[in-house]
Amino acid sequence: MPLWIVLTVAAAFLQNLRSTLQKQLTGQMPAIGATYVRFAYGLPVAALYLWGLAAFGDAAMPAPNGAFLAYATIGGVAQIWGTVLLVALFAYRNFAVGTTYSKTETIQTALFGIVVLGDHLSLGAFAAILISLAGVVAISIAQSHLTLATFWRSLGERPTLMGIGSGACYGVAAVCYRAASLSLEEPDFLLAAAYTLVTVLLIQTVAMTAWLGLRHPGELTASLRTWRVSSLVGLAGALASMGWFTAMTIQNAAYVRALGQIELVFTFISSRFLFREKTNALELTGIALVIGGILLLIFVR
């Protein structure tokens, strides 16, 4: 089995774990604070990983260039804005519509990859991405108790545009991270991915620390007060990011993000068998479409 597939599945599992841990923080701080600890507490873990690769591999650190810094900065800021837009959606009564549209991230990643990097998708891979996207939308509609009519009528409304914008930001981030790693022209893909990850986390941590310090200083205090859970969030997030960044360094970002939707399968399994939550026919159909799209992507990419 190709390494990028193993890394992506592992990253999706760890991301699901990180999300579960972050939910424990929502009762102690707003969502923006829970997002911040993911970067701030993840940075030391990623830095230690990078140091270990360089020290034990007896390798020199990659030399950053202008293109690398530009891609890393754009990607890091885009990810922050994607999160801000997603969090802001919850202030709207029909936020579920916007969050559903944010799931278009995978198809937007594919389009950005074609434009920025000249990545090409086979017809089968494009069909697989569309099938899994349909599954994700079906799951979101089922869990949010939306109707298809409501979903389509919402086009042009602010929550919809915010959701699409959030998906676009995440798509830009994924493509920029791949572009940043490739611009280093580093033969050791592990080292290139780790260096990119540390740089991005540093940019995000500095930017969010400055912003929270000016606008929400209480969030910084809360992030220190909740250090036990926050450190676990940072650890799980950093480990997940190691998988994402490495997979996107060696494979098309659209393929990685599409396969990464297996996270929804992990979420479904935990909610169904651990928490005994009920599922409906549309949700089961969505899971089947996601799994079918993933299998098609693996075999026909």
* Residue 127 counted as domain residue: no
Residues in CB range of 92: below 8 A, 6 or more apart: 98, 158, 159
Range of the domain at 221: 3-118+147-279
* Residue 75 counted as domain residue: yes
Over its C-alpha atoms, the chain yields an Rg (Å, rounded) of 19
* Residue 138 counted as domain residue: no
The per-residue pLDDT string of the chain (301 residues; one tens digit each, 9 = 90 and over) reads: 789 999 999 999 998 888 778 777 766 777 778 788 889 999 999 999 999 999 988 888 998 999 999 999 999 999 989 888 877 776 665 556 666 777 788 889 998 998 888 888 888 888 999 998 888 888 877 766 666 666 666 666 777 888 889 889 999 999 999 999 999 999 999 999 999 999 999 999 999 999 999 988 888 888 888 888 889 999 999 999 999 999 999 999 999 999 988 887 887 777 766 656 677 788 888 889 989 999 999 887 7
* Residue 169 counted as domain residue: yes
* Residue 114 counted as domain residue: yes
pLDDT at 27: 67
* Residue 142 counted as domain residue: no
pLDDT at 91: 63
* Residue 128 counted as domain residue: no
HEC profile of 225-273: HCHHHHHHHHHHHHHHHHHHHHHHHHCCHHHHHHHCCHHHHHHHHHHHH
**Number of folded domains that form the chain:** 1
pLDDT at 154: 67
Please give the helix or strand (H or E) that residue 83 lies within, else none.
helix 66-88
* Residue 134 counted as domain residue: no
The Cα 209–Cα 37 span in angstroms is 10
pLDDT at 25: 73
pLDDT at 45: 97
